[in-house]
Amino acid sequence: MIPKKVNPFFRFISKNFKRLERFIFLLKTFLTPRQFIYFSCVLVGISSALAVIILKAFAHKVYQFSQYLDGFLHLPYSNSILPIIGIVLTVFVVHKFLDGSIQKGTSHIMYAVAKNSGILPKKQLYSQIITSSLTVGLGGSAGLESPITVTGAAFGSNYAQNYRLSYKDRTLLLACGVASGIAAAFNAPIAGVLFAIEVVLAEISITAFIPIMISAATGALISTIVLDEDILISFKSVEGFDYHNLHFYVLLGFLSGLLSIYYARYFRKIEHYFVKSRFGIYHKALFGAGLLAILIFLFPTLFGEGYTSIKTIADNHPEKILDNTLLNGFKDNKWILLLFVGATMMVKVFATGLTLGSGGNGGNFAPSLFVGSYLGFVLAYFVNLTGISKLPVTNFTLVGMAGILSGLFHAPLTAIFLIAEITSGYELMVPLMIVSSVSYAISKRFEPYSFDIKHLADKGEVFTDNKDKNILTSLELSKLIQTDYKSIIESSNLDELIAKIQQSDEVIFPVLNDKDELEGLIYLDDVRKYMFSAFKIKYTSTEEVMQQPKELVFYDETMETVMEKFENSGSKILPVLKNGKFIGFISKHYVLIKYREKLKEMIIE
């Protein structure tokens, strides 16, 4: 129970929240729908920014604490212990207070848009903040951006539900929450807007940009005012673009594409291993966190988000990255530094996979930037050491981040403008465009879908860049089945069939056995020649006029598959089976009607 002395505070909060809610409802009656959306996107932007501030500030304080312990102990023992505590605490919270499950990654936002009318559960308002704070804040090797975007999306979705807004407006405010979250996390409003459009929204009109931009600007402004500059990732020492290095940027783009594929595939393997494992939840947490602890002991920069180490290698003194490591005595050996950074880059996917697979909560946005920065550093540093050329290490470190982000999330515009914004200028725009586009092209060739949504796209449960497929994905087969059919039992005459023809205007009749299994179909056109002959009706069996269906639709199939069956068979109506039993028909005409309705509904204005 809450102590009595605390009760007045909670009553005060509750009372004022209800007053605010009543005020917003009243305001809705006086404003036009468009004006209310503009007002709402500001509130959603503020809410998302506050979530970012809580997460970022907590993660930064824990990182400072761990560094203090490392300096005291001279070895990364504390870095290894804290992530174990964080992951186990996360599993405990999820198991005891969040119904044993929590949605991870941005894929659940796309699923909500595609299959759940833009509705996200209320627990996402706080569950992501709590669990990712414990996981990443205490050193789990993952990012806070995915929890931030899910939280922002939940604010937008639940706000729209509370004030009874339409599907279009609900989806728009969901995207506003996402844009604000990314904008606040990086002080990059343009990147926030582009991420919401590239990754979350499948269809959007120009007028929808305005609320998303307002939300992103609000989030970035709040974050800039409240958060210290050292918490936000930013870079000042950037050199101008030298076209003589063009071929090295192309090479960086090529390597980024390959490394994106490597990361995506190995992450899925690790994730699959934990899903299939028979460990209990706490045994799984201890096993995965234990392996993570070993990796962090060997490679301390895997601790947490890793943004501090990105700043370190982009600095003029990258050897500092070896501080408090087992290689501390080799700081003056540049080849050792290069090998350490390269090895850390390659094992980052295992650290993140172990963090999330064992039960921790976080995302892959920050790890993608981490891997990209290390790749850019390794390439430039290697070229400089070998004397092949003289490359600006800082520039390649930053551009590499865009390469992996583009290749992994299939979001090249977000990658380009994110790095441009965090470097406070556009001197790197040309190399950013080159590296991001090359990486995206290579990754897209071998991984058609962003790795974060691949498992949903394979099942047809999420939007893709195919407009028609997006709309078909949003249609649910179960709601399109026509069950008001008149079936007949297979018999030696057509008496029953003729009687049902006289009582209905149907043109097709299913023939079923006593187990409701489909034996065949009888079309009205095939029966007409028998209808006016009593002799033929009496002595013609249903089997003689029955046809086998050209295609069968199964209850768990996607609408894209159903439309392919319509196309292949040339049929306008197809039977639907569930667990081997006939349950109704699906009409191509009815599907197209719903398709047109959904098309109008989905275009966000």
- Do 267 and 151 share a domain, yes or no? no
Nearest to 395 by CA among 600, 550, 252, 183: 252
Residue 295 lies in a domain: yes
pLDDT per position as a tens digit, 471-518: 666 677 888 888 887 777 776 667 777 777 777 777 888 888 878 888
Q: Could you give phi then psi for residue 157, rounded to 5 degrees? A: -65, -50
- Do 125 and 148 share a domain, yes or no? yes
Residue 350 lies in a domain: yes
List, in order, residues 6 or more apart from 524 with CB less than 8 Å away.
501, 506, 507, 508, 509
Apex CA 259: angle with CA 256 and CA 261, to 5°? 110
Q: Report whether 115 contacts 341 (CB < 8 A).
A: no
pLDDT per position as a tens digit, 573-604: 899 998 888 888 888 888 888 777 776 665 55
- Do 180 and 313 share a domain, yes or no? no
Q: Looking at residue 529, which CATH number applies to its domain? A: 3.10.580.10
- Do 198 and 287 share a domain, yes or no? no
Residue 36: CB atoms within 10 Å:
18
Decide which of 462, 481, 502 is a domain's last residue.
462
Nearest to 104 by CA among 48, 146, 52, 149: 146
Residue 234 lies in a domain: no
Residue 198 in tokens: 């590239």
- Do 359 and 427 share a domain, yes or no? yes
Residue 411 vs residue 100, higher pLDDT: 411
Residue 334 vs residue 109, higher pLDDT: 334
Residue 233 lies in a domain: no
Q: Provide the percentage of residues in the chain whose pLDDT is more than 90.
A: 32
- Do 139 and 16 share a domain, yes or no? yes
The pLDDT, as a whole number, for residue 1 is 39
What is the Cα–Cα distance from 304 to 300, expressed in whole angstroms? 9
Considering its fold, how many domains does the chain have in total? 3
pLDDT per position as a tens digit, 535-574: 767 767 777 788 888 889 888 887 878 888 888 888 888 9
What is the Cα–Cα distance from 288 to 356, expressed in whole angstroms? 9
Sign of CA dihedral 93, 98, 101, 106: negative
pLDDT at 327 over 90: no
Name the average pLDDT for the chain: 84
Helix (H, G, I), strand (E, B) or coil at 169: helix
pLDDT per position as a tens digit, 179-197: 999 999 888 899 999 988 8
Decide which of 427, 462, 497 is a domain's last residue.
462
Q: What Cα–Cα distance (Å) separates residue 398 from each residue in 24, 135, 189, 364, 582?
A: 43, 26, 18, 17, 59
The pLDDT, as a whole number, for residue 87 is 93
The pLDDT, as a whole number, for residue 567 is 86
What domain range includes position 592? 472-602
Over residues 369-398, the mean pLDDT reads: 94
Residue 316 in tokens: 């003029």
Q: Looking at residue 402, which CATH number applies to its domain? A: 1.10.3080.10
- Do 587 and 456 share a domain, yes or no? no
Least confident of 176-185, 235-244, 254-263, 276-285: 235-244
Residue 81 lies in a domain: yes
Nearest to 47 by CA among 233, 150, 138, 180: 180
What is the Cα–Cα distance from 247 to 34, expressed in whole angstroms? 49
Decide which of 197, 226, 255 is a domain's last residue.
226
Helix (H, G, I), strand (E, B) or coil at 437: helix
Residue 231 lies in a domain: no
Q: Tell me which DSSP letter residue 106 carries.
A: T
- Do 22 and 62 share a domain, yes or no? yes
- Do 566 and 598 share a domain, yes or no? yes
As a residue count, the chain comes to 605
The pLDDT, as a whole number, for residue 166 is 83
pLDDT at 206 over 80: no
What is the Cα–Cα distance from 189 to 256, expressed in whole angstroms? 25
Helix (H, G, I), strand (E, B) or coil at 427: coil
Residue 467 lies in a domain: no
- Do 60 and 169 share a domain, yes or no? yes
What is the Cα–Cα distance from 380 to 438, expressed in whole angstroms? 18
Q: What residues are paired with 547 via a beta bridge? A: 521
- Do 269 and 210 share a domain, yes or no? no
Q: What Cα–Cα distance (Å) separates residue 26 from each residue in 19, 20, 23, 168, 439?
A: 11, 10, 5, 22, 50
Residue 236 lies in a domain: no
What is the Cα–Cα distance from 141 to 300, expressed in whole angstroms? 10
- Do 274 and 346 share a domain, yes or no? yes
